[in-house]
Structure 1
Amino acid sequence: MEDAVHAHQRPKLERYGDTLFLVLKTIVYVEHEEITPTSEIVDTGEIMVFAGPGFAITVRHGSAPPLDGVRHRLEADPDQLGHGPAVVVHAVADSVVDRYLEVADAFQSDVDELESEVFDLSRRTEAGKIYQLKRELLEFKRAVVPLGSPLQRLSEGTLPAVPPKVTAYLRDVADHHQQVTERINSFDELVSGILSAAIAQQGVQQNEDLRRISAYAALIAVPTMIVGVYGMNFDHMPELHWLYSYPAVLVLIAVVCTVIYRAFRRNKWL
C-alpha cells in the first residue's frame, strides 16, 4: 500500500500469499521539433498492479496513460477473462511494453537525425544536444531494463497465481521487452559513438583554425620584419638612398608574401 501511494518505485514483482504486486514504469514520448540542450524527450510514469483471487487493481502515477482501452479489450473477451486476474497482469504489461516499442521507434528517429547532423560538415553540432539525448536515453533505460526480471519470473510458470495459458502470453511480452532492451543498448552505444565523433570533429576544427591563424601570422610577420629593419634610421643601410628603394621593398614584400601564401595553400593550411 505504501509503495502504491508514494510511487517512485523500481519495476519489480512481489508476492504476498496469493496476491501479486507488479510495478511497471511507463514511458511517454514528448514531441519536439528539434533536440536542444534542454529538450525533454521522454516522460516516465508508473503503474502498480495488485492481482489476487477474484480481483485486479491498478494504480497509476505521473504520465502513465489511461488503461480504458485495456479494460475494454478484456471485457470484450470473456473467455480470456476466464483465466483469472493474471490475465489483467498480462494485458497491462503487454500494453506498457508495446508503448516501449513505440517510444523506441521515435527515439530511433532522434538518434538518426543527430547522427546525420554530426557528420554534416556544413553544420556544427553542440555537444550539449548529444549529452541531453544521452540523459533522456538513460531515463528510458532505467525505466525499461529492470522490468526484465519480473517478466522473466511471470513467464517461467513457477507462480501459482499465473495459469499456464497466461504464462505463454507473458513469454511473448518478455520477448518484446528483450527486443526493446537490445535496442536501447544499441542506442546507448551509438550515441556514445556520436559524442566521441563530435568531440573529435571539434578537435580537428580547432587544429585547422589554429593552423590558419599561424599561417596568417607568418604572412604578417614577413612585411613587419622588413619594414622594421628599414625603420631603424641608420645612415649606412643597403640601398637607403637609392631612388627606387621604396617600391623595391614593396615588391620584395609582395613576392615573399606570395611565395609563403602559395606554400601554405599547397600544404592546405589556408
Structure 2
Amino acid sequence: MSTNSPLPSFRWPGWTGARQDTPLPARRAGRVVDCAVYVDGQRLWDRSTYKNALDEVRERREGFVWLGLLEPGKELMADVAQTFGLHALAAEDAVQAHQRPKLERYDDILFLVLRTVQYLEHELNTVVEIVDTGEIMVFAGPDFVITVRHGEHSGLAGVRKDLEADPKQLALGPGAVLHAVADHVVDSYVTVTSAIEEDVDAMEEEVFTPANKLQIEAIYQLKREVVELRRAVKPAQLPLQVLANDTTLPLPKEIRRYMRDVTDHHTAVTEQIIDFNESLSALINAALAKVSVQQNTDMRKISAWAAMAAVPTMIAGIYGMNFDFMPELKWPYGYPLVICVMLLLCTVLYANFHRNKWL
C-alpha cells in the first residue's frame, strides 16, 4: 500500500464533521474530536474511524494514531478501550474525570492525568470565581496516543497544529504528543499564575493604601482561588518528575530530556503559588489589623462625642429637678450662665479630644 494514498473517508460514531479547532458550541460534547495517522511526522489522512486508523498503522508497522476525545461517555470510552487495549480502570477514570494528577503504567501503555486551569477576568474587590479547572488525560501506547479532555478551556487544537508543523518532533512518536500536552498544560499554569500575581500585587496596594475602602471578602476569595490552583497544579509534580527521570518507562531518551524542562517550569510555578498563599495570609492579617484600627478610631470618636453630649445632659438633668433651693435659680442671669458653662465645658472637652487625636 502506498504511504501517500489516503484511505476513503468514513464517519466514526459520534463524528460531527467538525475539527478540533471548531468552537465548542458548534459541536456536541462527548464525542470524537479528531483522529489521524502520523508516519514519519506527517499526517496522512483523517476522518476515518479510529479502528481503521489503528489497523492502518499496524498494517504498516510504522507511525501512530492520535485520537482526540472530548468528555466521552461510557459507551464510546468502552469501545475505544476495547479497540486500543486500554485497562478498564483507566478507561473508567477517563469517563468519570475528577481525578488527581497522576501517572500510571499498564504494561507498555502510560496513562497520564493532568488538571487544566483557566484564568477568568474579573474586577478587583469582587467576590467571583477567578480560576476554572478541567482535566486532560493521555493514553500513550506503542502505536497510538489518546487524549481525553474535560472542560471547555482545555482544547488541544493548537498543540496538534504546532506538532504537525514540526515533523521532526512528531516523528518521535506518541511520546512527543505526551510531552507536548504536558508542556501545554504547564504553560497554561504559567499564564494563570502571572495573572494572579497581578491580582495579588493590586490587592497589596489596596490594603496598604490609606483611606481605601477594603472588602476583606475579596481577599478571602482570592486566597480560596489560589488554594484551588495549588490543588490542581502541585500534585502534578511527581508524575512529571517520573516521566523525566524514570529510564524504565517506554519513552525515548529525547522525550525525557524535554520533560525535564517541563518539570523545571512546573517547579517554578508551584513555588510561586506557595508564595501567593503566604502573601495572601499576610494580607488577611494586615487587613484585619487595618479594620481593627479603623474600628478603634471610630469608637474613640463615638466616645468623645458621647462625653461632650453627657456634660449638658448632666447639667440640664440637675436643673430639671423640682427643687426650690438651687444655685442662681431665681437670678435673672442664671439661665444664660448655665448655657455658657455648658458651651465652655464642651469646648474644653473638644479641644482635649482633638489634641489627643480622638477627633
Q: TM-score, normalised by structure 1?
A: 0.96
Distance in 1, matches of 2:214 and 2:294, equals 12
Could you tell me which residue of structure 1 aligns to residue 117 of structure 2? 27
Give secondary structure in 1 for the equivalent of 2:124: coil
The alignment of Structure 1 onto Structure 2 pairs a total of residues equal to 269
Distance in 1, matches of 2:177 and 2:328, equals 102
Q: Aligned-pair distance for 1:42?
A: 0.9
Aligned residue identity for 2:287? A
Deviations 1:248-268 (A, max 9, x none): 111111111111110001111
Deviations 1:50-80 (A, max 9, x none): 0010111100001342111211222222222
Query: Residues 118 and 198 of structure 1 are in contact (CA less than 8 Å); yes or no, is this contact kept in structure 2?
Result: yes
Say whether 1:268 aligns with 2:354: no
Say whether 1:118 aligns with 2:228: no
Unmatched 5+ residue regions in structure 1?
none
Query: Residues 28 and 63 of structure 1 are in contact (CA less than 8 Å); yes or no, is this contact kept in structure 2?
Result: no
Distance in 2, matches of 1:159 and 1:31, equals 43
Q: Aligned-pair distance for 1:158?
A: 2.3
Of 174-183 and 224-233, more deviation after overlay is shown by 224-233
Q: Aligned-pair distance for 1:35?
A: 4.1
Distance in 2, matches of 1:260 and 1:201, equals 28
Query: Residues 43 and 63 of structure 1 are in contact (CA less than 8 Å); yes or no, is this contact kept in structure 2?
Result: no
Could you tell me which residue of structure 1 aligns to residue 320 of structure 2? 231
Deviations 1:139-160 (A, max 9, x none): 1111100000000101113233
Query: Residues 157 and 163 of structure 1 are in contact (CA less than 8 Å); yes or no, is this contact kept in structure 2?
Result: no
Distance in 2, matches of 1:226 and 1:219, equals 12
Higher relative contact order (CA 8 A, sep 6+): 1
Aligned residue identity for 1:19? I
Matches within 5 A, 1:1-270: 1-37=91-127, 39-270=128-359
Query: Residues 206 and 214 of structure 2 are in contact (CA less than 8 Å); yes or no, is this contact kept in structure 1?
Result: yes
Distance in 2, matches of 1:82 and 1:35, equals 49
Query: Residues 101 and 236 of structure 2 are in contact (CA less than 8 Å); yes or no, is this contact kept in structure 1?
Result: yes
Alpha-carbon RMSD: 1.2
Q: Aligned-pair distance for 1:220?
A: 0.6
Aligned residue identity for 1:181? T
Deviation above 6 Å: which 4+ runs of structure 1? none
Query: Residues 94 and 137 of structure 2 are in contact (CA less than 8 Å); yes or no, is this contact kept in structure 1?
Result: yes
Name the structure with the higher helix share. Answer: 1
Deviations 1:113-165 (A, max 9, x none): 22222222222212211111111111111110000000010111323312211
Query: Residues 28 and 44 of structure 1 are in contact (CA less than 8 Å); yes or no, is this contact kept in structure 2?
Result: yes
Of 176-185 and 114-123, more deviation after overlay is shown by 114-123
Query: Residues 136 and 154 of structure 2 are in contact (CA less than 8 Å); yes or no, is this contact kept in structure 1?
Result: no
Distance in 2, matches of 1:157 and 1:103, equals 29
Distance in 1, matches of 2:102 and 2:165, equals 29
Identity %: 58
Give secondary structure in 1 for the equivalent of 2:210: coil
Aligned residue identity for 1:6? Q
Structure 1 residues 29, 79: CA separation in 2 closer, same or farther (over 3 Å shift)? Answer: same
Distance in 2, matches of 1:240 and 1:251, equals 15
Distance in 1, matches of 2:172 and 2:254, equals 8
Aligned residue identity for 1:159? T
Give secondary structure in 1 for the equivalent of 2:148: strand
